[in-house]
Amino acid sequence: MVETRNYIGEFHYTVDSKGRVNLPSKFRNARVDETVFVVTRGLDPCIYVYPLSEWNKMENGLGNLSQLRRPDRTFLRNMTRYATHTTYDAQGRIIVPKVLLDYAKIVKKAIIIGVLNKIEIWSHESLTEYEKSTGNLTDMEYNDLAGEIYL
């Protein structure tokens, strides 16, 4: 089994009647030391899941946000307001509050996406809609961003 600290990849799982969502075993193995997570509302119509250590880093960083700029304020409020601590059970599942499931329009099926230091949970519906509308990048945006990265 490959060991890396960062979360990557996409997984399709089911949410049961108790609001339990499986975390991919790859993700659990990636950070065996992390058993506590913070779930909260994403900026996009999805759910963010932070391992505790990453959440703490963010809490520290939140102090640096501007009180004046609107996106900063929104971000800060979103992150703190809906945040809940969770642990996973013996089967590797976390419990996601119904408010958040509703927000992400998740009913039965969920798409789990690893985004380096956090995990996103989407409904198929929200994700495709997001991709269709605002989600798409223009060629210019894409090239700008790609240029900032690597190669």
CA atoms within 13 A on the CB side of 146: 8
Q: Which of DNA, its own copies, none does 107 bind, CB closer than 5 to 8 A by kind?
A: none
Under the criterion CB under 8 A, does residue 103 sit at the interface with its own copies?
A: no
Q: Which of DNA, its own copies, none does 14 bind, CB closer than 5 to 8 A by kind?
A: DNA
Q: Which residue has the tokens 């409904």?
A: 123
Q: Which stretch binds its own copies (CB under 8 A): 13-21, 63-71, 102-110?
A: 63-71
Q: What are the start-end ranges of the E strands in the chain? A: 7-14, 20-22, 36-41, 47-51, 84-87, 93-95, 109-116, 118-122
Under the criterion CB under 8 A, does residue 81 sit at the interface with its own copies?
A: yes
Asked if residue 85 lies in contact with residue 38, where contact means CB atoms within 8 angstroms, the answer is: yes
Q: Which of DNA, its own copies, none does 53 bind, CB closer than 5 to 8 A by kind?
A: none
In the set 13, 20, 34, 52, which binds its own copies (CB under 8 A)? 52
Asked if residue 151 lies in contact with residue 51, where contact means CB atoms within 8 angstroms, the answer is: no
Q: Please name the helix (run of DSSP H) or strand (run of DSSP E) that holds residue 68, with its range, or none.
A: none
In the set 17, 32, 70, 90, which binds its own copies (CB under 8 A)? 70
In the set 28, 58, 103, 105, which binds its own copies (CB under 8 A)? 58
